[in-house]
Amino acid sequence: MGLLLLEKAVNLIFPNVCVSCECIIDKNYDLCSECNKKINFLTKHYCNVCGTVISDNIYTCGKCIANPPPFKVLRSAFAYDQHSKNMIINFKFFNNLNYVKTYVKWMYQANWNIFQDAEIIIPIPLHKMRLLKRKYNQAALLARELSRLSNLFYAPFAIKRLRHTTPQAGLSLKQREKNLKRSCSQEILNSGAREVRVLSLARTI
């Protein structure tokens, strides 16, 4: 009885809230029913290389066939759109780190096979000027939790960003690709890695 009362008291003081809209929800859920309908989790119909959403009868998109990327596979947990952008913006720019473990759970559950036979997890680094401004690297926070979940070695300083690229916020998909073209995967391969697999929280589709 005592533990039950304590649990009720904790839930009253620190209620579980929807990761997206932050309304109070049951403790067993991450999203409220409305947000769960809106968030586009990317679980099927995507290119088996770059993860671009394509028709269900196509396995590799034309872009990857014509110009194979330096990475073996790229996957994302959900689509970056009008329904999910507030989660990403708050996480990246407004120090809302309350849901890191939830984000990592989403990333891992849908893409657990990306970790099979992998040896090391490397977060995409921020340029030192941007890190100084933002105070934290959201990719490093996700990568650290993913390493714990997958039991893989976490290497936060394996690569260093030398080029101060344009911020991704507000860029189109084509502009984002140009901005980061071969900025990390190729360098990791050049350093001796057999292959590179990429996992992100969200992507524009």
Q: Residue 5 domain-assigned? A: no
Instruction: For 89-100, write each residue's pLDDT tens digit.
Output: 999 988 899 999
Residues of the domain holding 65? 39-204
Using DSSP, state whether 121 is helix, strand or coil. strand
Tokens of 7: 């649990």
Give me the pLDDT at residue 169, please. 57
Beta-ladder partners of 78 = 41, 202
1 Cβ contact list (under 8 Å, min separation 6)? none
**H or E segment and range at residue 33:** helix 33-38
Instruction: For 147-188, write each residue's pLDDT tens digit.
Output: 999 999 999 999 887 765 656 555 565 655 555 555 688 889
Q: Residue 3 domain-assigned? A: no
d(CA 75, CA 49) in angstroms, rounded, equals 8
Total domains in the fold of the chain: 1
Cβ(125)–Cβ(45) below 8 Å: no
Check residue 117 and report its DSSP letter: T
Phi and psi dihedrals of 13, rounded to 5?
-80, -40
What is the percent of the chain where pLDDT is above 70?
A: 82
Q: Residue 12 domain-assigned? A: no
Rounded-to-10 torsion of CA 107, 113, 117, 120: -10
Q: Residue 21 domain-assigned? A: no
Using DSSP, state whether 120 is helix, strand or coil. strand
| pLDDT surpassing 50 at residue 146 | yes
17 Cβ contact list (under 8 Å, min separation 6)? 23, 24, 25
Distances (CA, A) of 84 to 36, 78, 123, 142, 198: 11, 8, 22, 17, 20
Q: Residue 188 domain-assigned? A: yes
What is the percent of the chain where pLDDT is above 90?
A: 64
Q: Residue 34 domain-assigned? A: no
d(CA 145, CA 109) in angstroms, rounded, equals 13
Q: How confident is the model at residue 6 (pLDDT cuts 50, 70, 90)?
A: very low
Q: Residue 183 domain-assigned? A: yes
Please calculate the CA angle 123-144-99 and round it to the nearest 5 degrees: 105
Cβ(45)–Cβ(62) below 8 Å: no
User: Closest by alpha carbon to 199, among 130, 128, 147?
Assistant: 147
Q: What is the pTM of this model?
A: 0.84
Q: Residue 27 domain-assigned? A: no
Check residue 113 and report its DSSP letter: G
